[in-house]
Amino acid sequence: MTDTASDLLARIRVHGAVPRHIAIIMDGNGRWARERHMPRAFGHRSGMKAVRAVVEASLEAGVEWLSLFAFSQENWQRPETEVSALMALLEEYIAREAAELRQQGVCVHVHGDLSRLSPPAAAAVERVRRETAGGDRLGLNLFISYGGRAELVRAARMLAEDVQAGRLSPEDIDEQSIHRRLYTAECPDPDLLIRTSGEQRLSNFLLWQVAYAELYISSALWPDFDRVALYEAICDFQRRDRRFGKVST
């Protein structure tokens, strides 16, 4: 670890309030590649190193859940060559990292409309889930072929089915009933939502879950985001006054 990274980590530990769940919209791979006169796929490949860095930094800081937006439902509309390059990288990431993630105690969950994945990509997803099941230091949620509205539609459909089957009555539907039908039913809501590349929008990520997340926009393009950048975001989070609609204590 660099000096800066260990200083920041020490500061985070002294403060003590580490976000339990960090969500990241990993954006800017294409611009990073363009700055280097390289194809977009080169930027996506370089982004893998940043994924490794934030997973390791989260483990060290004691974050319990890390949610990464890797591929949106809307991203299927990109050119075929880019979509295939991204799917190939997903398979490569899993092939290269699954064993180490398991060793580090990371449990990988993959969420989204996985019916659209190619058979090899779907097999890779199954493999990483199986091989890392039981990891108890960090839950890593990878969102692939994911849209926040589609996730809410899915939950509404499950509720309707339960009502129709007589398992649930409409007046018993509350926020918990929705929470339990989301992909993230197992985790607390994100405390901190980071977006890289300076864009200030949610792009359909975790619409329900980020209701009270602290937002942090980093100007770094995703391949340049590293351990220090994550620790800076956590330090910034620790200076926030989270009121949840009440008055400060």
Residues that bind ligand IPE (CB under 6 A): 25-31, 69-72, 75, 86, 197, 199, 201, 203, 222
Least distance CB 177 / ligand IPE (angstroms):
28
Which of Mg ion, ligand IPE, none sits in contact with 75, Cβ below 5 to 8 A by type? Answer: ligand IPE
Out of 5, 18, 27, 192, the only residue in the binding site for Mg ion (CB under 5 A) is 27
Annotated active-site residue 236? The verdict is no
Q: What is the 8-class DSSP label of residue 108?
A: E
DSSP, residue by residue, 52-67: HHHHHHHHHHT-SEEE
* Residue 210 contacts residue 189 (beta carbons within 8 Å): yes
Stretch that binds Mg ion, among 26-34, 53-61, 117-125, 188-196 (CB under 5 A): 26-34
Output the residue with the shortest Cβ distance to ligand IPE. 30
Shortest distance, position 101 Cβ to ligand IPE, whole Å: 20
Which residues, other chains included, contact 166 with Cβ-Cβ below 8 Å and sequence gap of 6+? none
Q: How far is the CB of 141 from Mg ion (least distance, A)?
A: 19
The answer to whether 204 is a known catalytic residue is no
If binding is defined by CB under 5 A, does position 97 make contact with Mg ion? no
End-to-end CA distance of the chain: 36
Half-sphere exposure (Cβ direction) of 220: Cα atoms closer than 13 Å: 19
**Residue 6 to residue 53: CA distance in whole angstroms:** 14
Spell out the residues 6+ positions from residue 98 whose beta carbon is closer than 8 angstroms to its own. 108, 127, 128, 131, 132
The distance of closest approach from Cβ of residue 10 to ligand IPE in the complex, given in angstroms and rounded to an integer, is 31
- As annotated, the active-site residues are 27, 75
